[in-house]
A and B are shown apart, each in its own frame.
Chain A
Amino acid sequence: MVIDCLMLRDNIVESILGKTTQKRKSRIPAKLDFLQSATGLILSIFITLHLLFEASIIFGKDSMYAITKMFELDFFIEGGSPIFVSILAFIIFAIFILHALLAIRKFPRSYREYLRLRTHAELMRHSDTNLWIIQITTGFILLFLGSIHLYTMLTQPANIGPFASSDRVYSDMFWPLYLMLLISVVLHAGAGVYRLIIKWGWFDGKKPKENRLKNRKIVKIVTVIYLIIGLFSLITYIKIGYEHQNSYGERYKVTSK
């Protein structure tokens, strides 16, 4: 076979030599490492805002309705349009898939690697190593639960609102999924943000050891706060869904202006 594609030739050279045609190491691993962190950071920022917006239900149906309409850009288009929610879900889904693809490279990938990691973690009882086990476990769970949630938002953006969301949570039996998703995503994001701080030495300052402990404490507190907020708003959706089950499908109308 004649190799007529230049890129393929470059890849062949790198496969054989471990270096590019310029006899240099590929810069791709650096880009992948950076992208893994960048996508993780974007998703972490997204989830911190998402959980806050979603928790607007705690302050009443009108608050949640106003937030829903805001995301449908009702300040821009008369009445708003759910398509903007779909677009946002698509962008987040794409970043989510990219992050999963990059992060999965670090998972144990054979029986031997799994056995060695597990034994090592059990023996050593080291907090950050155990935290990473939590991170990869929740990451694995998120691959499935996150995909279901994102696909639902992508394809049914109009079904968001005080009644529509509560019906989905209670009558459509999404609450067990959301409960597991909430715990997984908050733990994963918390561990991930802490890891980013360490990985890039963001707040190392003059005393990296002390600052590490301080950062860990702050991230831990924020994680617990987010878990409480998330659980409280989920309970609120379940309660509204339970009360609204006989009027399933009915959409919310603003009561006060």
Chain B
Amino acid sequence: MESLNLFVKSIFVDNMIFAYFLGMCSFLAVSKNVKTAAGLGVAVIFVLGVTLPINYLLNKYLLSPGSLSWISPDLANVDLSFLSFIIFIAVIASFVQLVEMVVEKFSPSLYSSLGIFLPLIAVNCAILGASLFMQQKAFATLGLATCYGLGSGVGWFLAIVSIAAIREKITYSNIPKPLQGLGITFIIAGLMAIAFMGFMGINF
């Protein structure tokens, strides 16, 4: 129950884009049409769903204060938490690289549809952000952390696909010239965020 609650919450309430503004750059840059937006969204879900559990284990058994005591009790006082940024980003960057190579080799068709987005993901704040929030929220189990990762990914997917759909429609609207493109996209995103605020306080 707790994991379902967390999953739903991270999709709607703690939405990566509308509540924390994470992953905005690619959210704005790759949301011109629904198809590419969905491609990037799926890639984000996948990378989040895998890197978050990895980073959770690293955090639990390597980085947080006293976490090295499973090797030997003498190491209980070692605190490596200052390295967490660098380790998290290294895990994400190398995982993305790895996936890119594997996909390219075994499924060229998937690569041509998904592959171009992969390098973009390494610098997507939503991925690193989720890892940092995971560290801050100190989840009790690996399962919860995975749920949080998948939920955040689905939330991001939902956000980018829906704004892409709106942007496709809006090309027919008569918008003041200086506001066209980027300006109106920001305002739409703002209005969508207001809509998402309606989910605040949901609990199961």
A binds B: no
Give residues in A with beta carbon < 8 Å to B.
none
Give residues in B with beta carbon < 8 Å to A.
none
